[in-house]
Structure 1
């Protein structure tokens, strides 16, 4: 017996019902994420949103969004990602609509034990394809923030910050935040 799988199109995606569970769409197939982030994951995200949203708002730099918020990587076959947090500068605000249609300036992924190296590599490749400028990989286990910058289509680690270190961002020059603020 064969089973036919219908791939999602961009129109299906935009006009379909709201789905409450977090997912990415890879080549038209919906890939559901772990049922719910842990409370530790949520605490780190909440603290990060508070820090970055305050900074971005005070400086009038753009908008901060957090999961679930879809970033469309490509329309056909449909491919989307839902980073834990994203920042879109005022200069790139045209990519904002019901979903993000292009590369945010910054995406943040809070790593979990279920993330394989391949999962992260696939996400980074997708983010590079839409021109994300910077990616932070936050490791709750190691209590680190790894900052990657997209340079000529390749991700390069610009810094790795641990407990007691300030977070240096290539897109937020004046940001005064420390890794310790995320792991309380």
Structure 2
């Protein structure tokens, strides 16, 4: 009986927060906290602060994500780099200490050429390319914070696809700072020195399949 009581006390003491409303949004959290949470909501951590992800992506978002993923996957087949799609944790840290990791993101897609960064839990360190497909729920503060942490972490290219405007913007890391490409749209193609020979047609990305 004593052993059973001890088990109950242990479980109560170590129980995780099950309601998002129970979290203190003013507090700073780490990846160790993140691993304990079990919510219906999808969350990201940016420098220790919690950000709720947008609701489940709609059809257009999903179609674009699947198409770009398909193109990258086929191109990278039997090549050193790999493409990973959300939900897939990107831990922007040079340490594997869960108590010290303060930024955990789930970009729509990412390309990783140093596969030693990949573990069963996700990518530890900066991917080479991060791709975000914007949804109506994305807010300016979230986008600004992501821009900053991707830049600081050394993500070489940050692609932003805007389905509603049918535009594509690429930020390239040069001397530690991002420089923006011209705004691309239908009729343009995306290329990158990170993946020589790869071409992404924006006609196909933004094609209306309905």
Structure 1 and Structure 2 fold alike (TM over 0.5)? yes
What is the correspondence of 1:43-82 to structure 2 with a 5 Å cutoff?
A: 43-58=63-78, 60-74=79-93, 76=100, 78-82=102-106
Of 124, 133, 139 in structure 1, the residue corresponding to residue 162 of structure 2 is 139
**In the TM superposition, what is the alpha-carbon distance from 1:124 to its structure 2 partner?**
1.1
1:88 equivalent to 2:112? Answer yes
| Alignment CA distance shift 1:147-1:7 (3 Å) | closer
Q: What is the TM-score normalised by the length of structure 2?
A: 0.76
SS in 1 for 2:141: helix
What is the correspondence of 1:1-184 to structure 2 with a 5 Å cutoff?
A: 5=24, 7-14=28-35, 16=36, 21-58=41-78, 60-74=79-93, 76=100, 78-89=102-113, 92-97=114-119, 98-184=121-207
| Alignment CA distance shift 1:128-1:37 (3 Å) | same
CA distance, structure 2, for counterparts of residue 69 and residue 80 of structure 1: 10
Aligned-CA RMSD value: 2.2
CA distance, structure 2, for counterparts of residue 54 and residue 26 of structure 1: 32
**Structure 1: runs of 5 or more not aligned:** none
Residue-by-residue CA offset, 1:49-87 (whole Å, 9 max, x unaligned)? 0011111115x1311111111111246362211111001
**In the TM superposition, what is the alpha-carbon distance from 1:29 to its structure 2 partner?**
3.9
| Residues 147, 169 of structure 1: 8 Å contact kept | no
**Structure 2: runs of 5 or more not aligned:** 1-21, 94-98
| Residues 31, 104 of structure 2: 8 Å contact kept | no
**In the TM superposition, what is the alpha-carbon distance from 1:7 to its structure 2 partner?**
4.7
How many matched pairs?
A: 178
Moved over 6 A (4+): none
| Residues 55, 175 of structure 1: 8 Å contact kept | yes
